[in-house]
A = this chain, B = another copy of it.
Amino acid sequence: MGVVVQLSDGKKPDASIALLSKLVGEDMKRVNALILDKAASNVNLIPDLARHLIDSGGKRLRPMLTLACADLCGYRGEYHINLAMAVEFMHTATLLHDDVVDESDLRRGKKTARILWGNQASVLVGDFLLGQAFKMMVETGSLESLRILSGAAAVIAEGEVWQLSTAQNVATTEDEYLNVIRAKTAALFSAAAEVGAAIAERPAEEQTALKSYGSNLGIAFQLIDDALDYSGDQAKLGKSVGDDFREGKVTLPVVLSYRRGNEDERVFWQRTIEAGDIRDGDLEEATALIVKHDALADTIERAGHYGAMARDALALFPDCDHKTALLDVIDFCISRGY
């Protein structure tokens, strides 16, 4: 798209989560083992479906955040494994229910669970994973972690209902849209990071620092996701370019283009996104309008703004490998946009 936005510290777009993966690698093996253990059931449908999700190639960014934040806070116990697993199960349960609600056929290029096993199984296995997540949290004995994660669960669901009831309104303001992604995406990133400090029983300022880091990282992550849907490399993206458009999702590039557009353009967005009347060439037209109004570049710039806030949130922690790894994650998330 020819968009050039300099990252705040001048890092190149090849920023990666390699350091993070290395630092939490051993712990992630234990998280994965716990995931398999807690997805086990005499009811075969549950491990079958769980295995499908586990093999679907997600980066496991959220549980890695929990592990790295616990390490950053000097946690020396075992319960960060439980919390990381709980975070991943909450995420997985959300995906299962989302796919039912959105009637999605594909996720990361693979058939969704609801296509393979039906909506009914997706709803119920999601409930089961959520139940298992709470059981694992309770095992930690950390009421503070339970408070954080149960709060996130309620916020996520409330955000989804809000999105459902206001879906496909192209006149959504940027503020309203930010509230949606704060609930839908940032709440779990935030909780995933914050519980790392909570389980380590660190002072409030460290806990709120990680909460803020996670929240802003989550917003940046989602905004880049929004941008990629109109510009991404399909293989890298793990989903098809234009999925959001075809599903009538109002994302920030659309919000900005609609506001900045003329009357004809607004009619175009109403017909496609709101009325769902999508014809040949409409995705190309949508992308052209988005580029015309700099909506893609500005979405990425907005993401950079939240990335900078995430970076500053970490400033009070002394320099160490874990801090570097968490900073790299910010650059990684944003560099996906290039």
Contacts and interface: CB of A to CB of B under 8 A. Distances in A.
How many copies altogether?
2
B97 A127 contact: yes
B162 A146 contact: no
A330 to B, nearest CB: 28
A74 interface: no
Contacts of A146: 134, 138, 146
A271 to B, nearest CB: 23
Given A45-B161, A146-B134, A146-B138, A127 B100 contact: no
Contacts of A132: 154
Contact of A154 (B131, B141, B155): B131
B160 A134 contact: no
Nearest to A38: B154
Contact of A123 (B46, B101, B154): B101
B45 A164 contact: yes
A309 interface: no
Interface in A86-145: 97, 100-101, 119-121, 123-125, 127-128, 130-132, 134-135, 137-138, 141, 143
A83 to B, nearest CB: 14
A101 B126 CA distance: 12
Contacts of A153: 127, 130-131, 134
A161 B101 contact: no
A82 to B, nearest CB: 12
Nearest to A131: B154
Given A43-B162, A100-B123, A101-B120, A157 B138 contact: no
Interface majority SS (helix, strand, loop, mixed), chain A: helix
A262 interface: no
A41 interface: yes
Contact of A141 (B123, B143, B165): B143
A277 interface: no
B160 A138 contact: no
Given A120-B101, A127-B97, A45 B150 contact: no
Nearest to A129: B157
A129 B125 CA distance: 17
Contacts of A135: 147, 150-151, 154
Q: Which 8 A-B pairs have the closest CB atoms?
A: A131-B154, A131-B153, A134-B150, A128-B157, A127-B157, A101-B120, A43-B162, A45-B165
Interface of A: 41-46, 97, 100-101, 119-121, 123-125, 127-128, 130-132, 134-135, 137-138, 141, 143, 146-147, 150-151, 153-158, 160-162, 164-165
